[in-house]
Amino acid sequence: MALASKAQTDDQHAIFLLKKNVNREIIRAIVVYPPTQAPKSLEQWKMAIIVVGQGYKWTNIHYDC
């Protein structure tokens, strides 16, 4: 993550910031993953947020119609 390296922060702090600043429902959906599937690295967290976020966005659009 370019922003994390520019801020000179480690992966754990970057993950904390992602959890703090991403939609609460998206983080909740990721946290309930089975322990073997839970993201551990920064890259895994970013991918999980993107995947869950796309589904969350689609359902919001779908139900708003």
Return the pLDDT at 9.
Answer: 76
Q: What local confidence, expressed as pLDDT, does residue 4 receive?
A: 63
Q: What is the pLDDT of residue 39?
A: 92
d(CA 33, CA 7): 29
Q: What is the domain count for the chain?
A: 1
Give residue 56's domain range: 2-64
How many helices (H) and strands (E) the chain has is answered by: 4, 0
Per-residue pLDDT of the chain (65 residues; tens, 9 = 90+): 566 666 677 888 888 888 888 888 889 999 998 989 899 998 999 999 998 888 765 555 445 45
Q: How many Cβ atoms are within 10 Å of 22's Cβ, its own excluded?
A: 16
Question: pTM to 2 decimals?
Answer: 0.68
Q: How far apart are CA 19 and CA 36, in angstroms?
A: 19
Q: Are 55 and 37 in contact (CB under 8 A)?
A: no
